[in-house]
Amino acid sequence: MNPLKASAALLGALALVAVTGPGATAEPQLPGGWKESGTSSVNSLTGSQGLASRADGGLTYRGLGSVPLDLRIKGWSHIGDPDIADGHTFDAYQGGDDAKSKMFAVTTPEGKRYLYEHPLDAGEKLNNSFAAVSPDAQWLVSGEWGDQNRLQVFPAPLLNSSTPPTGGALAQAGQITLDKPVRDIQGCDFVADTRLVCSSNDASKELFPEDRPVLQVDLERALDGKPVTGHVTSLFAAPQRSLCSGTFETEGIDYDSARRTLRVEVVPPAPCLVMTSVYAYKPTTG
């Protein structure tokens, strides 16, 4: 979510009684080889920014209320879409308008947390929308807000031996250059060594025909720390179903490889925004 549009409205609306929309019905096969398989909801205060699947099949959520007090005091006011790799939880943090760096926090299976701070490079936006760890657990992909022709790549903090073992500075590796621009990417996750799926909050239909599309990025090769290109295609539009009318917002995305389940979060308009919808999909092939 764009930090400039922080959710005072959300925090105020949490005092209201949630109004939930009708449950999702099964959809026919969607473009891109996915079929909607169900829907659920989560409290927006603790779950609207993203989600990640654990090895046991459970889900870890993040929302505006998920930022620990000690990190909020340090100026890390926004948390993005998380990921989990080898039992380690990766969180993406960003600060205010004057931020000169972004930060990734890694929490070990034992509960120890290490902070890795990346000073902004020339031309880099302060946004830190998500964390997506490659299947080999060696590389961390993230992204900025607005119109972008790239995704950022870092050595995976803690898991890549090139990073400090107890936190510290984090430099970029070779980025993913996209063959087509994307806009307002809220989250990405790997579905294979050379494929990511990403949620976009772009409603303009200027770049893709869908309103708030779920995108696929196919890499020319698996990440290795060197520059790589990615081919972008649109899979399907994120659902916009609610009893409330107004503007929806696409948020986090997750792929549970063990259960072959893709999940996409959508925040409905006020006052229904107190609960975030989570749509689940299954692949139709393979």
Q: pLDDT tens digit string along 224-247?
A: 999 999 999 999 999 999 999 999
Instruction: Identify the burial level of 263 via C-beta atoms within 10 angstroms of its C-beta, where 0-12 means exposed, 13-18 middle and 19 or more buried.
Output: buried
Distance CA 144, CA 136 (A): 23
**Residues in Cβ contact with 203 at an 8 Å cutoff, skipping those fewer than 6 apart:** 211, 212, 247
Share of the chain above pLDDT 90, in %: 87
Q: pLDDT tens digit string along 166-187?
A: 999 999 999 999 999 999 999 9
Helix ranges restricted to H, 30-133: 44-47, 69-73
The answer to whether residues 272 and 18 touch, using CB atoms and an 8 Å cutoff, is yes
The answer to whether residues 212 and 193 touch, using CB atoms and an 8 Å cutoff, is no
The whole-number average pLDDT for the span 98-118 is: 97
The whole-number average pLDDT for the span 185-211 is: 97
B/e letters for 45-75, b = 16+ CB within 10 Å, e = fewer, are: bebbbbbbbeeeeebbbbbbbbbeeebeeee
The answer to whether residues 237 and 214 touch, using CB atoms and an 8 Å cutoff, is yes
Q: Where are the domains of the chain?
A: 24-283
**Is the model's pLDDT at 259 over the cut of 60?**
yes
- The predicted structure's pLDDT at residue 285: 79
The two tokens of residue 203 are 């409603």
The answer to whether residues 195 and 228 touch, using CB atoms and an 8 Å cutoff, is no
- Render 117-178 in DSSP notation, one character per residue: EEEPPTT--S---B-EE-TTS-EEEE--SSEEEEEEEEE-TTTSTTS-TT-EE----S-EEE
CATH placement of domain 24-283:
2.120.10
The two tokens of residue 114 are 């290490």
Residue 31: pLDDT band with limits 50, 70, 90: low
